Amino acid sequence: VFAEHQINVGDLITMYPCDVLALDNPNGGMRFYRADGKDLLQTVANMYIAYLCKVEGTRMAIAGDPNKYCAAACAHIINDGAYIDKHDFGLDEAMRYTEKSYHTQNCHFVSLADCCMVAIATKVIQKDQELLAGYGAEFWGHIAKRGMV
Is 144 strand, coil or helix? Answer: helix
The per-residue pLDDT for 110 is 85
Model-level pTM? 0.77
Q: List, for residues 93-140, the tens digit of each pLDDT value.
A: 999 999 999 999 999 988 776 667 889 999 999 999 999 999 888 888
Is 22:63 a contact under the CB 8 Å cutoff? Answer: yes
pLDDT (tens digit, 9 = 90+) per residue, 30-85?
788 877 777 777 667 777 777 777 776 677 788 888 787 788 888 888 999 999 98
Q: Strand locations in the chain, DSSP E?
A: 12-16, 20-24, 30-34, 52-54, 60-63, 107-112, 116-121
Which residues sit opposite 107 in a β-bridge? 121
d(CA 17, CA 133) in angstroms, rounded, equals: 16
Can you tell me the distance from the alpha carbon of 96 to that of 135, in angstroms, rounded to the nearest whole number? 14
